[in-house]
Amino acid sequence: MQTLIFVVLIVLFGSALFSCVEAALFSVSLGRARVLAEQKKRGSANLIKVKENIRRPITVIVILNNIFNIAGSIMVGAMAGQVLGNAWVGVISAVLTFLIIILGEIIPKTLGENYAEPISLFAAGPLLASTKLFSPFIWFIEKLTSPFSQKNKTVSEEEIRILSHLGHLEGSIEKDEKEMIQKVFRLNDLTAENIMTPRTVVEALEYDKTLDESEDEIYDLNHSRLPVFKEDLDDIVGIVHQRNLLIAIGRDQGKKKISDFEEPPIYVSEKMKADELLPFFQKRRCHLAIVRDEFGGTSGVVTLEDVLEQLVGEIVDETDEEIDMRIKARKMK
């Protein structure tokens, strides 16, 4: 009888152990494991290895868990028949099944979720060793299941959106942080055409005019960088800095032409995504680009500030007459 009780306890312990570890591993993300590694938590390096190829460790856990649940139940049933008689086998099997569900599954998995990090860090090392030990058997199982397997994304954009919202509701993420995360994902949905300053309100200077001829216009400019055109805005040939023009005027160089101060223009397509514009500006080390339509004409201009405003909201200084130049363009129609 004592041997029977001992075997039952072993079966319950084994089932509970692997159920607990399984729940803990699924509760700790790969990103969190890397954070733990940066914090130099013991076992974090092994945990990263486990999370990077989670299917193999989970296969080991499932194998061992079922060995205890199935093989253990068979052994207990056989011993119960010898000790208590065949009449008690059904009763013992029912009781054992109930105990496995409660003590071997539900309670351990709850504990695994509640104490996921310490359990995962502790179990990662032995689990890696077990994975190597069972590697031939795991390889065989992978070959059998490969036709039914597909690689899923670790986390989707929609999941991050939902998690940021839930984090805000729980108080772990501030409102402005949540809004910033949501706006980052919206960048991919916006194009240069959506955020540019339309050509109808673009300030530009004529190529062959002198500084003296454009002096009043230069003083009244609201932007630090201006396109330079020859015939019209469809023929933009350069970009000038208002600062350089003002310095030249201050040095009595009014006879110089606007073209003497121009820099080569940079062009982008109307369809260029906003999330591509940000690294584009960073790589080119520029702040303004000319937006061209499908026919090669000028649709407007887009700036680094236009992209940043999609993340942080409108950036307005004391000289801005309009908060949004696109609104001004619509008013002029």
Average pLDDT, the chain: 83
Specify the pairing of strand 288-292 against strand 298-303. Answer: antiparallel
pLDDT at res. 120: 92
pLDDT in tens, 67-111: 888 877 777 767 766 767 666 667 777 887 888 889 888 999 999
pLDDT in tens, 155-199: 666 777 777 777 778 787 888 777 777 788 788 888 999 999 898
Contacts by residues 179-188 (CB-CB < 8 Å, ≥ 24 positions apart): 180/311, 180/312, 183/310, 183/311, 184/311, 185/157, 185/160, 185/161, 186/310, 187/273, 187/274, 187/275, 187/278, 187/307, 187/310, 187/311, 188/273, 188/274, 188/275
pLDDT at res. 316: 61
pLDDT at res. 121: 92
The confidence band for 331, taking pLDDT boundaries of 50, 70 and 90, is low
Read off the tokens for 200. 């109808």
User: Distance between CA atoms of 61 and 316, rounded to whole angstroms?
Assistant: 58
Specify the pairing of strand 288-292 against strand 267-269. Answer: parallel
pLDDT at res. 20: 92
pLDDT at res. 115: 92
* CATH class entry, domain 190-332: alpha beta
User: Distance between CA atoms of 104 and 122, rounded to whole angstroms?
Assistant: 19
pLDDT at res. 5: 80
CA angle 268, 217, 290 (to 5 degrees): 0
pLDDT at res. 117: 92
pLDDT in tens, 222-278: 788 889 998 888 889 999 998 898 999 889 888 898 888 999 999 999 999 988 998
Give CA separation, 57 vs 36, 47, 65, 120, in Å. Answer: 19, 11, 12, 12
Mean pLDDT of 40-53: 89
- pLDDT, greater one: 270 or 8: 270
The confidence band for 152, taking pLDDT boundaries of 50, 70 and 90, is low
User: Distance between CA atoms of 48 and 300, rounded to whole angstroms?
Assistant: 48
pLDDT in tens, 16-25: 998 999 999 9
By the 8 A CB rule, do 50 and 57 touch? yes
Among the listed residues 293, 295, 268, the one whose alpha carbon sits nearest the alpha carbon of residue 281: 268
pTM of the model: 0.50
Strand stretches in the chain, DSSP E: 197-198, 205-206, 225-229, 236-241, 267-269, 288-292, 298-303
By the 8 A CB rule, do 300 and 197 touch? yes
User: Distance between CA atoms of 333 and 208, rounded to whole angstroms?
Assistant: 29
User: With 60 as the cut, is the pLDDT of residue 325 above it?
Assistant: no
pLDDT at res. 320: 53
Sketch the domain layout of the chain as residue ranges.
2-148, 157-188, 190-332
